[in-house]
């Protein structure tokens, strides 16, 4: 994703040069301050301090990759083999190998003798809580993407008002108009190159994580029913994309 953002900015600058423009003319500190400062302030009004402080961390997280299901399937199959040979209680000794808190909770329920209904209910409740948290986090970036063009238009309007107040200086009109339009440009860049792509990538990561967690629920319940490693593999590989299943089979 960072490469896509960088390429978008590069293409914008290249097209400006091809049209005979000067990239230095796109720099306007007042417009930058208004668009980004105003967007941050308006977004902060809509959310708590804690949610705003998480935005930089979420932006970094957005550069990550979706969850890989094949590794989870391999781990679930290994655990299924242990449970089939030595019983569910033997899984307790392997609990330290389970890094994912969600899967560890499901395996703990299994070891404690919970039935399938309770395992599904508790793990699905955890998924609901995670979804709620992710939705709030993503909405901070979605809101910022909506505010940025508005503040860009606001900056342009303010620039036009200032320009119209100095019509007695015709030599400055062109420059003033150019500076005023940079605010709209910054708003569009902030919304379409930064904020919206981050929100979309976080949404994609959330969907991938939820898919992995649904697979974990299926896997834990399959272990409860005594599936063998082979049967577990055949059951869980349906969660993979066709191309991934073909590669795994090869």
pLDDT at 153: 93
pLDDT at 17: 87
Average pLDDT for residues 56-85, to the nearest whole number?
Answer: 86
Query: Hey, how many other C-beta atoms are within 10 angstroms of the C-beta on 164?
Result: 10
Q: Is the pLDDT of residue 166 over 90?
A: no
Distance set, CA 180 to CA 156, 160, 194 (Å): 4, 6, 21
Residue 1: pLDDT band with limits 50, 70, 90: low
Instruction: Select the more confidently predicted residue: 66 or 201.
Output: 201
pLDDT at 124: 95
Q: Is the pLDDT of residue 42 over 70?
A: yes
Length of the chain: 250
Question: Which residues, 6 or more positions from 214, have their beta carbon under 8 angstroms from its beta carbon?
Answer: 127, 239
**Lowest mean pLDDT across 87-101, 107-121, 172-186, 233-247:** 233-247
Average pLDDT for residues 151-163, to the nearest whole number?
Answer: 87
Residue 247: pLDDT band with limits 50, 70, 90: low
- Alpha helices of the chain — where are they, by DSSP H? 2-18, 29-32, 38-46, 49-53, 55-61, 69-86, 101-111, 116-164, 173-189, 196-224, 229-236, 242-249
Helical packing angle, 69-86 and 242-249, nearest 10°: 60
Q: Is the pLDDT of residue 131 over 90?
A: yes
Residue 248: pLDDT band with limits 50, 70, 90: low
**Lowest mean pLDDT across 26-30, 124-128, 146-150:** 26-30
For every residue of 174-206, DSSP letters joined together read: HHHHHHHHHHHHHHHHIIIIIIHHHHHHHHHHH
Provide the mean pLDDT of the chain: 86
Q: What percent of the chain has pLDDT over 90?
A: 42
Segment 207-240, tens digit of pLDDT? 999 999 999 999 999 988 888 888 888 888 887 7
């Amino acid at each position: 994703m960072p490469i896509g953002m960088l390429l978008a900015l590069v293409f914008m600058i290249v097209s400006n040069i091809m049209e005979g423009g000067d990239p230095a003319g796109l720099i306007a500190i007042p417009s930058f301050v208004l668009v980004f400062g105003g967007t941050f302030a308006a977004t902060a009004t809509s959310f708590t301090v804690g949610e705003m402080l998480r935005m930089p961390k979420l932006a970094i997280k957005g550069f990550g990759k979706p969850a890989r299901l094949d590794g989870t399937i391999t781990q679930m199959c290994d655990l299924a083999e242990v449970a089939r040979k030595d019983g569910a209680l033997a899984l307790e000794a392997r609990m330290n190998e389970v890094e994912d808190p969600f899967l560890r909770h499901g395996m703990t329920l299994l070891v404690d003798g919970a039935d399938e209904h309770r395992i599904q209910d508790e793990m699905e409740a955890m998924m609901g809580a995670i979804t709620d948290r992710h939705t709030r986090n993503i909405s901070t970036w979605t809101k910022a993407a909506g505010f940025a063009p508005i503040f860009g238009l606001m900056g342009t309007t303010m620039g036009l008002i200032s320009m119209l107040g100095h019509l007695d200086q015709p030599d400055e009109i062109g420059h003033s108009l150019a500076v005023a339009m940079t605010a709209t440009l910054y708003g569009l860049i902030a919304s379409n190159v930064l904020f919206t792509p981050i929100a979309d990538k976080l949404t994609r990561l959330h969907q991938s994580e939820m898919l992995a967690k649904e697979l974990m629920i299926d896997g834990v319940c399959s272990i409860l029913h005594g599936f063998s490693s082979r049967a577990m593999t055949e059951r869980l590989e349906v969660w993979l994309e066709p191309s991934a299943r073909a590669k795994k089979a090869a």
